[in-house]
Amino acid sequence: MNILIVEDDSTTIESIKLCLEIYEPESKLSYTHKGEEALQMLREQQFDGVIVDLGLPDIDGVEVLKGLRRFSSIPAIILSARQSPDIIRKALEYGANDYITKPFEYKNLLKRLNTLIKANIK
């Protein structure tokens, strides 16, 4: 499993990385703090799934999602502290496959990610 995390919080990245190392040791993790860089990486590399925060320093995570959906249908999970029903609905309308609010349970995130990736492979 090759995953891209688009997240500006280093602690969250390290936590997900550790969780993947424990529960999915064969997985590969790439990450970036910026949305524009994420879109470039997603165009140039093959990923099985992407986890995107909404609060990025350069562009909003919804813009990353909109850009991604112009060229890819890989599974995308929004991972954000934003809990407004309007924001969640907007993210799902723009192509997020799932929306998880922070704080979150790491095993749950991995389970949902694995489910989406397996469904996308079929």
pLDDT digits (tens, 9 = 90+) for 35-90: 999 999 999 999 999 999 999 999 999 999 999 999 999 999 999 999 999 999 99
Query: What CATH number does residue 82 fall under?
Result: 3.40.50.2300
How does DSSP assign the chain, residue by residue?
-EEEEE-S-HHHHHHHHHHHHHH-TT-EEEEES-HHHHHHHHHHS--SEEEE-S--SSS-HHHHHHHHHTT----EEEEES---HHHHHHHHHTT-SEEEESS--HHHHHHHHHHHHHHHH-
Look up the domain containing 111 and give its range: 2-121
Q: What is the pTM of this model?
A: 0.93
Per-residue model confidence (pLDDT) at position 49:
95
Count of domains for the chain? 1
pLDDT digits (tens, 9 = 90+) for 2-20: 999 999 999 999 999 999 8
